[in-house]
Amino acid sequence: MKDSLKFYSKLALFSIREEQSSLSGTLGGFILYPCFIWIFSKLWLGLNHNVTSLGVEPLFAYIGLTEILFMTTLREPLIERASSDFTLSFVRPRSWPIYTTISIYSRTLSRRLIYLFLYIIIMPFFIDNFSLTSISALRFLILVPLITILDTLYSFILTSLQIRFYSTKNFRMLFGKLFLIFGGVLSPLSDIPEPWSKLFLNTPFADLIFQPCYFSIKAEFYQITFFQWFVRIILQLTCLLALSVWMYRDSRNHYHNFGG
């Protein structure tokens, strides 16, 4: 048990190092992140600035936070790496599900924390209220380890699907769009008119992206209490865990890897 804990801690640190090891990937993200905030903030100002209930400055902070989550969710390199480790894992004395989950979690969380650091640095160029930036970052920091667990499980399920069906590009695209629309990346769900707002707010994606970002800015969840959000997250976590176990077993049983 002690040895396993030691190994998985080492794996987590190694995964963080692996995440930062590709210079082009890391630099690309660092350049793209502020670019996306700039583009979306300009777009919003040009099209919708009168209709947001958040206010212009909080809206920019919201864009910054949702982009952190969206840019680090269901990333292809993580899924590809995990699925390519699948064959190797059967001849190694370690559990692939635990190995994969820890690796994806560490990589995703570390990337999110780096973007959050970048958020604190670049937000003063977009908004004058520094306390909004710092406090929203702090609140986000409290929630992000928990929501990254759920995000990791989504990646794990997609990895199992990749092993089962060889390619999951279409699944990934579908999930990406679901996060984009129902998660509130495209527009804060608080600004969407009824009855769509109610529908969108009741999807699991809203609890993963919109609600944590809204909480980080407003210090409260939108139309629900912290307890309600937490129960929904735990419920989602339970369902994802069950689905992950089932998907892994199904992939393991159907795995044949024709042609070497």
Residues that bind other proteins (CB under 8 A): 3, 7, 10-11, 14, 17-18, 21-23, 84, 87-88, 90-94, 252-253, 255-260
Which of residues 23 and 47 has its CB atom nearest to other proteins in the complex?
23
- Closest to other proteins by CB, 12 vs 224, is 12
The nearest distance, CB 22 to other proteins, in angstroms, is: 5
> Which tokens sit at 122?
């670049």
Among candidate residues 205, 188, 207, the one with its CA nearest the CA of residue 197: 188
Nearer to other proteins, 93 or 193 (CB): 93
At its nearest, how many Å lie between other proteins and the CB of residue 75? 15
At closest approach, how far in Å is the CB of 15 from other proteins?
A: 10
Shortest Cβ distance from residue 57 to other proteins (Å)? Answer: 38
Token digits for 31?
């350049």
Give the DSSP letter string of 109-174.
HHHHHHHHHHHHHHGGGT-S-HHHHHHHHHHHHHHHHHHHHHHHHHHHHHHHHHHHHS--HHHHHH
Min dist. Cβ of residue 20 to other proteins (A): 9
Q: Identify the DSSP state of 55.
A: -
Residue number, 131 or 257, with CB nearest to other proteins: 257
Q: Are 151 and 108 in contact (CB under 8 A)?
A: yes
In the complex, what is the shortest distance from the CB of residue 181 to other proteins, in angstroms, rounded to a whole number?
A: 28
For 185, the token pair is 């990346």
Nearer to other proteins, 46 or 260 (CB): 260
Q: Which CB sits closer to other proteins, 13 or 31?
A: 13
Give residue 61's Cα distance to chain centre.
17
Beta-carbon contacts of residue 67 (< 8 Å; ≥ 6 apart): 33, 36, 37, 40, 115, 185
Opening angle at CA 12, ends 7 and 17, nearest 5: 120
